[in-house]
Structure 1
């Protein structure tokens, strides 16, 4: 069983490589954003607790997010393992996750960090756009829809750029994320779990390097 955390700044390519890992290893991709949406839609106890913070425009406390992760990791679809995306973001969350994984008996097998320099990330993020209907992500540099103006996933025709992907916002966003990301890498390096992969390479080469790490286990 492969239980994996993917680290990397926004634009590093975590979403692209996650899709390939899921296809090959049949892991369950757990995104915190999706988790919040599902738990709130299903009106689970933790989902309603999270909603009470979100509705007031407040950040969801770490302990509530951790409860949500634990709820998700206990679901029966996680047979072959999981990829955690968006959690943990801080060392405090990483410590909470250690407790969760011990309770659900699903130890981490790998933590992989996709490292990309700041200028490349700014270019990638500034070129990113999304389908207004289903949220599928595209990129003017690397991933245009197969049919121009039509979403590959849902067939929608309306696209938009996230406010935080606009060039003037991107640099600050990367600096904030780097401050959170660096201590996390140190945390997992000390545990002997961290592998750093060059995210500047083509998506094919990034996946080949990542696959080599996962297939060792």
Structure 2
């Protein structure tokens, strides 16, 4: 089973590249952001909690995020693999993901980090906000999300590097050129 983590700050291109990888490798995409938005749109109890947290620019607690992720994996028992987009965001989440995957006899194959600088991220997200109107792309929330990534989330990378599972890709450039770098990495697994 091929299990990938696409890692990077908000606006790095995780969603764009994930979709291309899903199409090529027939992976099941699990985006915590998409899960949160679905719960919010369906006005579930969980969605209401998540909505307030996101509106305040905060991360959703690990217990909620991990439960939702486990539910999604279990919904797809015959999957060729999974691509985790936007998760894990902390070492505790990475450890929980590893423990859960081990309990279902699989593991993370590779973690691919898309490197993009802050000025490029700001420009990309401003453009995305104009097009999609996503509430989590508002300027005040954006600064907090990017800060959160560079202050906290980025510390997950050494966890996977210590396991020999980390690959870094320059996330600035043509989408297809970046994708070619990603597939060269994925094809090794």
Of the three residues 160, 163, 166, the one matched with 2:133 is: 160
- The CA distance in 2 between the partners of 1:169 and 1:66, in whole Å, is 23
Q: CA RMSD in A?
A: 2.7
Conservation of the 8 A alpha-carbon contact between 1:27 and 1:78? no
Counterpart residue number, 2:154: 182
Counterpart residue number, 1:24: 24
- How many residues are paired up? 184
Q: 1:213 to 1:71 in 2, by over 3 A?
A: same
Q: Which stretches of structure 1, 4 residues or longer, exceed 6 Å deviation after superposition?
A: 39-43
Conservation of the 8 A alpha-carbon contact between 1:11 and 1:125? yes
- How big is each residue's C-alpha offset from its partner over 1:85-125, in whole Å with a ceiling of 9 and x where there is no partner? 12211111111111111111121101000001111111111
Give the number of the structure with larger relative contact order, counting CA–CA contacts within 8 Å between residues 6 or more apart.
2
TM-score by length of 1: 0.74
TM-score by length of 2: 0.84
Counterpart residue number, 2:165: 193
Q: 1:11 to 1:53 in 2, by over 3 A?
A: closer
Deviation, 1:171, is: 3.7
Conservation of the 8 A alpha-carbon contact between 2:41 and 2:47? no
SS in 2 for 1:82: strand
Q: 1:37 to 1:200 in 2, by over 3 A?
A: closer
- The CA distance in 1 between the partners of 2:145 and 2:41, in whole Å, is 29
Q: 1:60 to 1:216 in 2, by over 3 A?
A: closer
- The CA distance in 2 between the partners of 1:8 and 1:193, in whole Å, is 15
Q: 1:23 to 1:54 in 2, by over 3 A?
A: closer
CA radius of gyration, larger in: 1
Counterpart residue number, 2:113: 113
Q: How does 1:47-126 map to 2 (within 5 A)?
A: 50-51=46-47, 53-54=49-50, 57=52, 60-76=60-76, 78-126=78-126
Deviation, 1:39, is: 6.4
